[in-house]
Chains A and B, each alone.
Chain A
Amino acid sequence: MRDLRNRPGLLTGRLSTKDSSLTFALYALSLLGALVISGALVAATGGSAPDVLSALLDGSVRSPGAWGLTLTTAAPLLLVAIGTIVATRAGLVNIGQEGQVLIGAAFAAYAAVRLGGPGWVVVTGALLFGAVGGGAWAGIAAGLRAWRNVPEVLTTLLLTFIAFPLVTFGLSQAALIADRDTTRQNQLNTGEIIPGTALLPDVHLFGNAIDSGFLVAIGLSAVLAYLISRTLLGTRVDMLGYNPRAAQRFGVAAGPLSAAVLIGSGATAGVAGAVLLTGGAAGDRLVFGFSGNFGWDGLLVALLARNRILVALPVALIFAMLRTGSSFLAATGVDRKVTEVVQALLVLALLIPPAVLFIRDRRRALRSSNQKTPATAPEAT
């Protein structure tokens, strides 16, 4: 007869800390399982798993300039993931990052082309516009949730499928973000080339060019990690995710906070879109399908990181390696889409250990407390 119940946060089931070796073994086994399945898949379609692995490593770290590109690619993934993590910790299910990234990129494209002034002003403006765009797009879902309690899991999804034609529409209108240079061929549904002044500068390190978008992502991650772990905001977010009724009773109003968090997660996704555009990793201009699954993949990074911002960094790097590495797959004769399969398998595999540990802990808790338990016991004779 309650409207709400303690709702266990998304994937935040408690982990047993006692049996670290068991935990480790479970994770290792699951990951191994995912990799074995991936290898089998490659083999089944006529490829060679060692060749694929080697090509992936070549493409992501070993070839010249590769790891710089990998770090550059990791930036938008990490940005999407950290926003998602905060939303998930607050008990929200934002799964519309792909659309938020795209809208963010579109807003950033407008700013990059239309804003004048020195380069740093334009770049900052583009990033801010990206944040506003992504935030506004998630804000629609936030508003509907606040107004009529429409589940955000559905609205964020539907909004993604509206974002695509919307941006395409923008790309057809000269007043918006369409290419105004009519002398070019095929300018239909493409944006204007981002001027060089509006591009995020590269950092050069050991012959690798790393886009400074990566630094933006690292910086934002640090800020969010601090806010979550050290400030009242973090406590409130966690409280809302763990027990919204207790939050309400102790002065944390679910409405404004979840709206803010949802908008915030959209904004980081929007920044990811802006970084994607001004970092130059995804081409020199906005085109149809520009977001290139960065939103979906960033979401998967968040899920794999089990809602810990600091864990999201290595996971984002692994996903980025799969992305940059996949461009070297052509030589092995294996379709690059295999990396998407690997990513999804990794996510599914990592769902299993916490679930198994959770069930085991609960069984134990039930057994030691005075509650019913489906234990089997032999009858004494």
Chain B
Amino acid sequence: MVSVQDRPSPASVAVSVRGLTKRYGDVVACSNVDLDLRRGEIHGVLGENGAGKSTLMKVLIGLVQPDSGTLTVDDARVRIDSPARAGALGIGMVHQHFSLVDELRVWENVVLGERERLDARHARGLVESIGEHYGLGVDPDARVGDLTAGMRQRVEIIKCLRRDPSIVIFDEPTSVLTPQESEQLFGVLRLAVERENKAVALVSHKLDEIRQATDTVTILRRGAVVEDGPTARFDQQSLAQAMIGRAVSLRGDDAAALGATDIVVTEATAASGPVTAPTVLAVENAVFDRYGHRVLDGLDLDVRAGEIVGIAGVEGNGQVELADVLSSLVTLDAGTVIVDGVVVPTGRAGAMGTAGVGMIPEDRHDAGCVLDMSVAENLALASVGVGSWLRRVDRAKNEADALRLIDEYEIRCSGPDAPFHSLSGGNQQRVVLARELSADPKVLVAAQPTRGLDVGAIEFMGEQLRAAAARGVGVLLISSELEEILHLADRILVLHAGRIVGEMNRTDADVERIGLLMGGVTTDTTTTEGEADA
């Protein structure tokens, strides 16, 4: 399907990749990939997680060396062996996370990683002029840690554009943005392409984003290019089919995973969770300050037995702290948590787990597992904190339990004694899921449960959450993937700045209104018009 039919004059090709292959051990991350990024064009790179798109982009910015293949930048064969080399060639990347230092000021972050002499006044001026040029205004002297997620991304973009790259790569840029902010971002991309004649690559796994914002698209599956061409040639259906490799109805789990929201919302699955079911989790007026910032600000929510409640919201609005509270990791400054009618003290070690709160954490390596212990030990973590310290560890029982769960949840590992860190990400997640579900929780909290998983694992996770709800567990789904929430949740709460700012049932969910709420626009008055095109 790699075609050269409708390619414009070669002069406009900024970067050309030919026959790129990269292996990690037995895994082929990229196999014989061809890609052309042209000036004046937004090029979408679509693929599910693990399809090889980040490896491809890392090759372009010099973080990964290919095993074979050629790179051409502006018609010259090149070898990109470091990010610095990529920068010299005019290739820049806007990272999705982790490239800003909170404690430094905006201008310091913007010039971090460069070589020339430090010049504060010049750097401030640059921040201001780039901000003005692209409509990305931000105070150069602000501490980055004080900024909102949207503003932080502005800093990331300025940091990238500051080197005036002619080729800009955006890696999954919308996960920290509201739908409205995403629109705005695409506006900036368009500006860069039209006004500056830059070549822009937009890496994404979301179909609607690719269709909305790109001119050309390359679709990767299992490390290989399966389709490419002008975006207009594809519809939602054909994009999805190319990406997954089989026909999909766009009505099931796949659709949510792929971000085809418009179709999913109209789907009317008979939801469980009758209104009369007892409340199993109630958080009342939760207040929590971290580093002097109020991150939970009077948060109220309740979850009834058998329903899935989705918390929608842009990352960094209190999701992490809410999950931390429900993991007994932090103590609330004010407010109460009630599980199954009983007030549970926050911040007391193990109290939430004992009270019946299961947790599938956002970052399982954070508090969800002990990497240096075995699979069996990780499956039995919940029993460690219970009972006298002199009690013998019942290894035989742990092993038997582990064998059963390994079988039941199809965990691929060499056995109960396998070190946890030797498992793949998907199987580590299954261990967490097996442990949390086998404890018969009353409430199951799933925080960004599908992040980093492939489509198969996402489906499995969705099934498990549904099955848990069907058994009468109250499920709280915290996700920044609006599609995931629209697909799975019976009831949707919108989280902004540490409080719930809106609530609606799935049946009357309205993407635009949710988007506005996520951005902090309180909207009881502005709802009516957006409903039709949802």
Classify A-B as touching or not with yes or no (CB < 8 A): yes
A residues contacting B by CB (< 8 A) are 1-2, 5-6, 9, 12, 14, 227, 230-236, 238-239, 242-243, 245-254, 367-377, 379-380
- Bound state CA distance, A12 and B372, in angstroms? 9
B353 and A380 within 8 A (CB): no
With a 10 A CB-CB cut-off, give which of A243, A245, A249 has the most chain B CB atoms.
A249
- Bound state CA distance, A314 and B79, in angstroms? 54
Q: For the complex, is B68 an interface residue (Cβ under 8 Å from A)?
A: yes
- Bound state CA distance, A227 and B391, in angstroms? 9
**Contact of A248 (CB < 8 Å), options: B58, B68, B367, B382:** B367
**Please, which residues of chain B bring their CB within 8 A of the CB of A232?**
384, 387-393
In addition to A246-B370, A247-B385, A379-B69, 10 A-B residue pairs with Cβ atoms within 8 Å of each other are A6-B365, A6-B366, A232-B391, A232-B392, A248-B329, A249-B350, A250-B381, A254-B349, A370-B50, A375-B65
Q: For the complex, is B429 an interface residue (Cβ under 8 Å from A)?
A: no
**Please, which residues of chain A bring their CB within 8 A of the CB of B369?**
243, 246
**Please, which residues of chain B bring their CB within 8 A of the CB of A375?**
64-65
The 5 closest A-B pairs by CB, nearest first: A251-B385, A251-B350, A380-B68, A368-B25, A253-B349
**Please, which residues of chain B bring their CB within 8 A of the CB of A380?**
19, 67-70
**Please, which residues of chain A bring their CB within 8 A of the CB of B64?**
372-373, 375
Closest chain-B Cβ to A242's Cβ sits at a distance in Å of 5
- Bound state CA distance, A34 and B366, in angstroms? 39
Closest chain-A Cβ to B45's Cβ sits at a distance in Å of 16
**Contact of B366 (CB < 8 Å), options: A2, A14, A227, A235:** A2
Closest chain-B Cβ to A17's Cβ sits at a distance in Å of 10
| B 296-321 binary contact with A (CB < 8 Å = 1; else 0) | 00000000000000000000000010
- Bound state CA distance, A209 and B96, in angstroms? 69
| B 54-95 binary contact with A (CB < 8 Å = 1; else 0) | 010010000111111110000000010100000000000000
**Contact of A377 (CB < 8 Å), options: B63, B66, B389, B393:** B66
B392 and A230 within 8 A (CB): yes
- Bound state CA distance, A237 and B529, in angstroms? 59
Q: For the complex, is B373 an interface residue (Cβ under 8 Å from A)?
A: yes
**Please, which residues of chain B bring their CB within 8 A of the CB of A234?**
393
**Contact of B373 (CB < 8 Å), options: A238, A369, A377:** A238
**Please, which residues of chain B bring their CB within 8 A of the CB of A239?**
370, 373, 381, 384
**Please, which residues of chain A bring their CB within 8 A of the CB of B70?**
379-380
Nearest neighbor of A377 in chain B, beta-carbon distance: B65
Nearest neighbor of B351 in chain A, beta-carbon distance: A251
Closest chain-B Cβ to A259's Cβ sits at a distance in Å of 14
B349 and A247 within 8 A (CB): yes
- Bound state CA distance, A281 and B354, in angstroms? 52
**Contact of A251 (CB < 8 Å), options: B81, B354, B373, B419:** B354
A372 and B58 within 8 A (CB): yes
- Bound state CA distance, A249 and B389, in angstroms? 17
A245 and B391 within 8 A (CB): no
A251 and B366 within 8 A (CB): no
**Please, which residues of chain B bring their CB within 8 A of the CB of A231?**
389-393
Q: For the complex, is B359 an interface residue (Cβ under 8 Å from A)?
A: yes
**Contact of B328 (CB < 8 Å), options: A2, A14, A249, A377:** A249
Query: What secondary structure prevails in chain B residues at the interface with A?
Result: loop
Nearest neighbor of A233 in chain B, beta-carbon distance: B389
A367 and B25 within 8 A (CB): yes
B329 and A245 within 8 A (CB): yes
- Bound state CA distance, A207 and B53, in angstroms? 75
- Bound state CA distance, A251 and B381, in angstroms? 9
Q: For the complex, is B268 an interface residue (Cβ under 8 Å from A)?
A: no
Closest chain-A Cβ to B117's Cβ sits at a distance in Å of 28
With a 10 A CB-CB cut-off, give which of A5, A9, A373 has the most chain B CB atoms.
A373
| B 313-349 binary contact with A (CB < 8 Å = 1; else 0) | 0000000100000011100000000000000000011
B79 and A379 within 8 A (CB): yes
- Bound state CA distance, A246 and B386, in angstroms? 14
A252 and B24 within 8 A (CB): no
Can you list 28 A-B pairs, Cβ within 8 angstroms, ordered by A? A6-B365, A14-B421, A230-B392, A231-B389, A231-B390, A232-B384, A235-B384, A236-B385, A238-B370, A239-B373, A243-B367, A249-B329, A249-B359, A249-B368, A251-B328, A252-B385, A253-B349, A367-B24, A367-B25, A368-B27, A369-B424, A371-B24, A373-B64, A377-B66, A377-B67, A377-B68, A380-B67, A380-B68
B389 and A236 within 8 A (CB): yes
A242 and B393 within 8 A (CB): no
**Please, which residues of chain B bring their CB within 8 A of the CB of A248?**
328-329, 349-350, 367
Q: For the complex, is B29 an interface residue (Cβ under 8 Å from A)?
A: yes
**Please, which residues of chain B bring their CB within 8 A of the CB of A253?**
348-350
**Please, which residues of chain B bring their CB within 8 A of the CB of A252?**
349-350, 384-385
B69 and A242 within 8 A (CB): no
Q: For the complex, is B116 an interface residue (Cβ under 8 Å from A)?
A: no
Closest chain-B Cβ to A14's Cβ sits at a distance in Å of 7
Nearest neighbor of A372 in chain B, beta-carbon distance: B63
B24 and A369 within 8 A (CB): yes
Q: For the complex, is B371 an interface residue (Cβ under 8 Å from A)?
A: yes
Closest chain-A Cβ to B52's Cβ sits at a distance in Å of 8
Decide yes or no: A246 and B368 within 8 Å by CB, A238-B373, A252-B385 being known contacts: yes
Decide yes or no: A368 and B24 within 8 Å by CB, A233-B389, A235-B393, A380-B69 being known contacts: yes
| B 367-409 binary contact with A (CB < 8 Å = 1; else 0) | 1111111000100011011111111110000000000000000
- Bound state CA distance, A14 and B374, in angstroms? 12
**Please, which residues of chain A bring their CB within 8 A of the CB of B370?**
238-239, 242-243, 246
- Bound state CA distance, A43 and B370, in angstroms? 49
**Contact of A1 (CB < 8 Å), options: B320, B349, B390:** B320
| B 415-436 binary contact with A (CB < 8 Å = 1; else 0) | 0000101001000000000000
Nearest neighbor of A252 in chain B, beta-carbon distance: B385
Q: For the complex, is B524 an interface residue (Cβ under 8 Å from A)?
A: no
Q: For the complex, is B26 an interface residue (Cβ under 8 Å from A)?
A: yes
Closest chain-B Cβ to A359's Cβ sits at a distance in Å of 15
**Contact of A246 (CB < 8 Å), options: B102, B354, B381:** B381
- Bound state CA distance, A106 and B107, in angstroms? 58
Closest chain-B Cβ to A202's Cβ sits at a distance in Å of 33
**Contact of B353 (CB < 8 Å), options: A243, A249, A370, A379:** A249
Nearest neighbor of A368 in chain B, beta-carbon distance: B25
- Bound state CA distance, A375 and B290, in angstroms? 40
Decide yes or no: A370 and B55 within 8 Å by CB, A233-B389, A245-B367 being known contacts: yes
Decide yes or no: A14 and B24 within 8 Å by CB, A250-B353, A375-B65, A379-B70 being known contacts: no
**Please, which residues of chain A bring their CB within 8 A of the CB of B386?**
251
Closest chain-B Cβ to A271's Cβ sits at a distance in Å of 20
- Bound state CA distance, A12 and B26, in angstroms? 29
Closest chain-A Cβ to B82's Cβ sits at a distance in Å of 9
B385 and A6 within 8 A (CB): no
Nearest neighbor of A380 in chain B, beta-carbon distance: B68
- Bound state CA distance, A253 and B328, in angstroms? 10
- Bound state CA distance, A231 and B394, in angstroms? 9
- Bound state CA distance, A9 and B351, in angstroms? 26
